[in-house]
Amino acid sequence: MQQEFSRSFDQLNDIVAFTEQVFTDQGIDPSTRYVVDLCVEELFVNMVTYDTETDRDILIEMNACPGGVEVSLTDYGVERFDPRNAGTVDVDAPLEQRTPGGLGLFLVLKMVDSIHYEYRDRNSKITFVARSKEETEEHNVSD
Amino acid sequence: MFQIDFSDQGVIAVEGRLDAAQAPRAQEFLDQVDGPCVLDLYKLEYVSSAGLGVLLRTHKRLMGTGDGLKLINVNHHINDIFTYSGFDKLFEIEVAER
């Protein structure tokens, strides 16, 4: 399933409703829901905040995959930005050295099971997979 | 739906989804708070990095006067986010018993 969303934080409620619909229609394990909600928001907000050279809608695609759910966000007519290269956050730093910001992509990279990036014809597409806890544990055991 | 307000017990109750759209509202409310402050997160369903920024900014401001934020009734999803973010080392956190 797919849907386009305009470039506004006000769209977050509609994105949650879309996600709810996909999970219901495709019988996706709800244990992945928090990860999907968080990662979709962080990636969407990042695109809206930093890809300011375009006013085109952002496409979100979401489908069940073996053991979980695969989600893609595509931003059209923008510069390349590979979230896998986002800076890390020192989560052990003391309070005086911590600053608000920078946690979004850090959490995405921490929480997804895999993430892929494509950049073609100025279109930026990020795809991630979130697996249910049981699947992740089985993968970890088999690794 | 997101709500933040003082409860009967004098703590601040936070409900719903604290996302990037709601973070400015939460920040505006918490900017008015002084002294030691307890946030009851029992009905908070979701928090993103925007919400974490609100909590961190407020905690740092209050710690400047020796106080700070205490987070209580935290559900396990949100506690995971706090742990991944290192907030478990910065805040006093009580996890919900459920």
- Mean pLDDT on A43-68: 96
Class of domain B2-95: alpha beta
**Between residues 70 and 99 of chain A, which touch chain B (CB distance below 8 Å)?**
89-93, 95-96, 98-99
| CB-CB neighbors (< 8 A) of A83 in chain B | none
Q: Are B55 and B69 in contact (CB under 8 A)?
A: yes
- Mean pLDDT on A20-26: 98
The pLDDT of residue A143 is above 70: no
pLDDT digits (tens, 9 = 90+) for B4-53: 999 877 799 999 999 999 999 999 999 999 988 999 999 999 999 999 99
Q: Please report, for chain A, the start and end positions of each structural domain, with discontinuous segments joined by +.
A: 2-142
The pLDDT of residue A100 is above 70: yes
ipTM: 0.94
Which one of B48, B57, B90 has the shortest CB-CB distance to A41?
A: B48
Domain A2-142 has CATH 3.60.20.10: no
CA A35 to each of CA A25, A75, B62: distance values in angstroms, whole numbers, following the listed order = 18, 21, 30
CA B79 to chain centroid: 11
- Residue A74: pLDDT band with limits 50, 70, 90: very high
- Residue A133: pLDDT band with limits 50, 70, 90: confident
A45 close to B (CB below 8 A): yes
Q: What is the pLDDT of residue A136?
A: 62
A37–B46 C-beta distance less than 8 A = yes
CA A40 to each of CA A36, A78, A140, B64, B71: distance values in angstroms, whole numbers, following the listed order = 6, 18, 24, 34, 25
